Amino acid sequence: LAIEPEPFCLLETTPETIHFFEMLWDAADKAGVGELVRQHIGVCYDVCHQAVEFENASVAVSELAAADIRINKVQISCAIELDKPSDEKAREALATFAEQRYLHQTFARHSDGRVISHTDLSQELALNPPSDWQQAEKWRVHFHVPVDADRLGPLGTTRPELIGALHALGQLPYEP
């Protein structure tokens, strides 16, 4: 079984995932099934999900490994990155990805490391963002895009995080 962290869900970040597994293992040990739980329950690591949260993929994989949490499955994927939130043309391009079928959780990181978030990308957020969003260093949007694309016109992707994740996964003593 592979539990998949996702933005705006019970488990979002790597630290939250590690904490969850520590609690799970404690309960499993008390029930006398700790070894079985450790053997059969792990993580589905979705590179896009963690990149959207502005996690460093290499560090996240290393932290999961250091916590002895097995990565049972990997979703190889990239998200959209808005390099310059003040760029109106780039935000217009981003607005074309706002659609109702799926949630496209959107995060913005400021130069001081502070991250703000919105549950879904909307035309309004993309075209008329509040000043706090416009002043951010960059945005990332949970919208799966081609893994071989560095750019989508004026928009970037989180491909560098994917490359970092693949390198870190290759260092594991097992194959997810």
| Residue 15, pLDDT score | 98
Angle value at C-alpha 140, between 139 and 143, nearest 5 degrees = 140
- Please name the residues in contact with 16: beta carbons below 8 A apart, sequence gap of 6 or more: 5
Question: What pTM did the predictor assign?
Answer: 0.92
| Residue 64, pLDDT score | 98
Give the domain extent around 99.
Answer: 79-157
Written as tens digits, the pLDDT of the chain (176 aa) is 999 999 999 999 999 999 999 999 999 999 999 999 999 999 999 999 999 999 999 999 999 999 999 999 999 999 999 999 999 999 999 999 999 999 999 999 999 999 999 999 999 999 999 999 999 999 999 999 999 999 999 999 999 999 999 999 999 999 99
Decide if 95 contacts 127 (C-beta within 8 A). yes
Q: What is the radius of gyration, based on Cα positions, of the chain?
A: 17
Instruction: Give me the number of domains the chain comprises.
Output: 2
In a domain, 176, yes or no: no
Do both 71 and 126 map to the same domain?
A: no
Do both 27 and 55 map to the same domain?
A: yes
In a domain, 22, yes or no: yes
Do both 87 and 153 map to the same domain?
A: yes
Do both 107 and 63 map to the same domain?
A: no
Burial pattern 109-123, b for ≥16 Cβ within 10 A else e, equals beeeeeeebbebbbe
